[in-house]
Amino acid sequence: MIKLAICIPCYGDTKAKFTLSLTNAIIHFMDSVIKDSDGNEVDKQVEMFMVSCSMLTESRHRLVAEALTWGATHMLWLDADHVFPADTIPRLLMHGKDVVGANYPRRNSPTAPTAVKTVTDDHDKDNRNLLYTTLEKAQAGEVEECDHLGFGVCMMNMRVFDKLQIEADKTDGNILPLFEFKPHADKVGLVGEDVYFFNKIREAGGQVFCDHGLSWEVGHIHEQILTNAHSLAHKEKWEAFTKAKTSKIQAKIEELSA
């Protein structure tokens, strides 16, 4: 039995295209056939949990509590400003990882990926580098271990909380907090709540992976201010787009008239 808790922290309204992606993903998952190692079809249940709170760390703690109380076997974290393909859920489940998710651009300009991976250089020094999803990695279907990634589209097996509890029992037995904003060592900027959580998982022996193939198909919705400078810069592209659209409509009219 797969009991999937879809967990969405949301402050304000969800984006329309996110809602469309979510609907298509649930339909696809419930229509899909997932088999166990013996070839038997696995039953599926889905429950959605949404918490609206101005404190993101509080939202995430409450969502974990909801999923655990419901008896989820897996959690799918989704942020309400992302788009993703309809087959996202089975694609992430099939990896069988503690944590596996999508790498996507940060919502600012210039942008950079959310995933980070520690790489050891020729001098045995560990460097935390941004992990870029390339077309080559995506086409190869590469699933790469990383230090952390974002929660925008992220599947988690609930066994990670057992690992966290085992680790916590070595001290005071308390796994909280799971999510926390902490200042960097240089006091400039903050370590995000997602980074804090994934660090705890890795310290407890869990692993975090990035699905590059899925990552290539995930989008982070970002508002942009458009000016006449953009219109001028896009002039040729707009003319080509309009010509193609007109040709497509004209072809359909001729087809129906034939």
Non-local (6+) Cβ contacts of 32 within 8 A are 87, 89, 90
| Whole-number average pLDDT of the chain | 92
Counting residues of the chain whose pLDDT is more than 90, the rounded percentage is 74
* pLDDT at residue 185, as a whole number: 80
* pLDDT at residue 225, as a whole number: 85
DSSP string, 79-117: -TTEE--TTHHHHHHTT--SEEE---B-SSSS--BS-EE
- 20-34 mean pLDDT: 97
pLDDT tens-digit map of 112-153 = 999 999 876 655 555 678 999 999 999 999 999 999 999 999
Integer Cα distance of 186 and 100 in angstroms: 30
CATH 3.90.550.40, applies to 2-220: yes
Q: What global pTM score does this model have? A: 0.87
* pLDDT at residue 214, as a whole number: 98
Band of residue 43 on the pLDDT scale cut at 50, 70, 90? very high
pLDDT tens-digit map of 53-66 = 889 999 999 999 99
* pLDDT at residue 59, as a whole number: 95
- 223-233 mean pLDDT: 87
Integer Cα distance of 165 and 27 in angstroms: 34
Band of residue 190 on the pLDDT scale cut at 50, 70, 90? confident
User: Exposed, middle or buried: residue 72 (CB in 10 Å: 0-12, 13-18, 19+)?
Assistant: buried
pLDDT tens-digit map of 63-81 = 999 999 999 999 999 999 9
Cβ(182)–Cβ(152) below 8 Å: no
End-to-end Cα spacing for the chain? 53
Domain boundaries, the chain: 2-220, 228-257
- 79-105 mean pLDDT: 97
- 224-253 mean pLDDT: 88
Band of residue 36 on the pLDDT scale cut at 50, 70, 90? confident
Cβ(142)–Cβ(173) below 8 Å: no
pLDDT tens-digit map of 161-173 = 999 999 999 999 9
